[in-house]
Amino acid sequence: MAIIKPFRALRPQPALAKEVAARPYDVLNSKEAAEEAAGNPYSFYHVSKSEIDLPEGTDIHSAPVYAKAAENLQRLLAEGTLFAEASPAYYIYKLVMDGRSQTGLVCASSIDDYNKGIIKKHEFTRPEKEQDRINHITATKAQTGNVFLAYNDVPELNSLISHWQEHNAPVYDFVANDGISHTIWVVAEAAAVEEITHRFATQVPATYIADGHHRAASAALVQKASGEDVTADKPINFFLTTIFPASQLAILDYNRVVKDLNGHSKADFISRLEYDFIVEAIGHHEQKPSMLHEFSMYLDHTWYRLVAREGTYTTDPIGILDVTILQNNVLDKHLGIQDPRTDKRIDFVGGIRGLGELVKRVDSGEMAVAFALYPVTIQQLFDIADSGNVMPPKSTWFEPKLRDGLLTHTI
């Protein structure tokens, strides 16, 4: 069962919440972060993307970057922009995007649960990305990036969280510049905290990492290096999470762009695809895939509809995924991309950027071909995690994203 606990968050003064809130560190580059933080000394990018305060060209994984992050976090505390909660609390976090809302519980989740597989994974992690977060956590003595978890709905928990929202005022309620609404309530009342803790410990057999595998892995590695007993009730034995009921979540498509056709001409490439797909040219208008096993391809200013033929996939949890079908029957078979995690000829584009981003990158000449996929379902994610398997890289893109800086867990 899931072990969670309340914590004393570092959080911004209510009047500064919108100015502090920053998109997750890994969804934008240094230049984009610098542009968003320009003229705003309160922005949490000064902590999560601290290279923006160092000379241009600074290695973002160098020691001065992590030292600057720690310095900036202490500055925000010293100036009173951030403060520590008076007593341990849970936090309810509601996001609204395009009229759709989702509400999660912000808490400290057990690293022992992570180690034991009670917190389930569906992706491999990369050592260099783990090391970046390890260095950041070690320097700042804080987990600034939230791990996005999901669980199968528990009606009593849903009702409890809804009741708290209805009968208490939020501490933050603002609409970010991208139009996404962020509302947060503090749950510090002892009886409510105890009930939430008890219900997770008795009614939630597992939680699933939706987004944040590297943040979770890094927190576990920092804990291991500390030498602390992982079962002790100490902050270092827990990590920052927001847990959402599965029924409220939506996964966006995660698309692919490739630099070249691996020596094939356009006509030869399309001809090869026809062995495994029904290929139909649909013209210049963007068209997203409308169902599983259907793909949209953009090549030489034209969109194509690809439908996987029978025999190109299996029915096991991994084989049935569209990312697997594309990898096996296109990327590997014809484009020579055997390991998409390391091959420099492929890049990944989150669905939040729209199909226009695929057109832009192909038409610019940077890439030769783009593929749009139908989104993975939350049930597929759960099935794969339950089976002990992992998805191919860059299979899921969750929106809306939690904001960094609103709630930070110190260790």
Over range 192-221, report the average pLDDT: 94
The confidence score (pLDDT) of residue 314 equals 86
Tell me: the pLDDT tens digits for 307-356? 999 888 888 888 888 999 999 999 999 999 998 888 999 999 988 888 99
Residue 97 amino acid letter: M
> What is the rounded distance in angstroms from the CA atom of residue 146 to the CA atom of residue 44?
13
Tokens of 342: 């390391």
The yes-or-no verdict on residue 279 having pLDDT over 90 is: yes
Amino acid identity of 298?
Answer: Y
Alpha helix (H) residue ranges in 212-317: 213-226, 266-273
Kindly report the number of other CB atoms within 10 A of residue 174's CB atom: 17
Query: What is the rounded average pLDDT for all residues in the chain?
Result: 94
Q: What is the number of other CB atoms lying within 10 angstroms of the CB of residue 205?
A: 10
186 versus 212: the higher-pLDDT residue is 186
Where do the domains of the chain lie, and which CATH numbers do they carry? 4-251+399-410 (no CATH), 254-374 (3.30.1760)
Angle (nearest 5°) at CA 173 between 167 and 174 = 160
